[in-house]
């Protein structure tokens, strides 16, 4: 059974490096990681950290007062397809709603768009290229 818990910024680094930045020369420490309001969730399977996600206050739509951005979500290959990412997002939505915020967005890698669509995220805008990473889409969901 996978359990979702709050984790520290530093706890995200290893999975960010091995999954998101593997063979990619880009920072794995994000601006805003330690800002007030930012939180990090970890997915644990048999007490091993197998998935991570960071949620920070950031604006994509100026018509909405407060918003959260999902950054750096990743799961280890051995737990993919087992609902780990969905559990991370569901817990984050619960936390964000408790804060009185109803808008969550992300820059989704093109290959992950279907995953986010299954969680009620919608594509907003055109595809764009992130150097060294590939095509992305901005996606949002209302909570």
pLDDT digits (tens, 9 = 90+) for 129-139: 887 777 889 99
Q: What is the pLDDT of residue 64?
A: 63
Percent of the chain whose pLDDT exceeds 70: 92
Distance, CA of 62 to chain centre: 21
Q: What is the pLDDT of residue 36?
A: 92
| Top-confidence residue, 8 or 66 | 8
Domain of residue 100: give its range: 2-142
- The residue behind tokens 């709603």 is 97
| Domain count for the chain | 1
Tokens matching residue 66: 């407060």
Residues 6+ positions from 60 with CB-CB distance below 8 Å: 67, 69, 105, 124, 138, 140
Q: What is the pLDDT of residue 20?
A: 75
Say if residue 78 is exposed, middle or buried (CB neighbours under 10 Å; 0-12, 13-18, 19+): exposed
Distance, CA of 12 to chain centre: 11
Does position 60 have pLDDT exceeding 70, yes or no?
Answer: yes
For the residues 95-100, what does the mean pLDDT come to?
A: 95
Residue 87 is part of a domain; what is its CATH number? 3.40.630.30
Whole-model pTM?
0.91
DSSP state of 65: S
Residues 6+ positions from 21 with CB-CB distance below 8 Å: 27, 28
Bridge partners (DSSP) of residue 2 are: 45
């Amino acid at each position: 059974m996978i359990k979702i818990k709050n984790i520290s910024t530093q706890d995200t680094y290893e999975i960010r490096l091995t999954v998101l930045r593997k063979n990619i020369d880009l920072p794995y420490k994000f601006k805003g990681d330690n800002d007030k309001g930012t939180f990090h969730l970890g997915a644990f399977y048999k007490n091993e950290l197998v998935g991570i996600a960071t949620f920070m206050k950031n604006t994509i739509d100026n018509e909405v007062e407060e918003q959260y951005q999902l950054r750096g979500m990743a799961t280890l290959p051995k737990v993919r397809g087992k609902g780990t990412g969905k559990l991370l997002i569901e817990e984050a939505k619960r936390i964000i709603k408790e804060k009185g915020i109803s808008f969550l967005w992300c820059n989704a890698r093109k290959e992950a768009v279907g995953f986010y669509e299954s969680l009620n995220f919608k594509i907003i805008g055109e595809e764009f290229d992130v150097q060294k990473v590939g095509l992305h889409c901005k996606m949002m969901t209302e909570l």
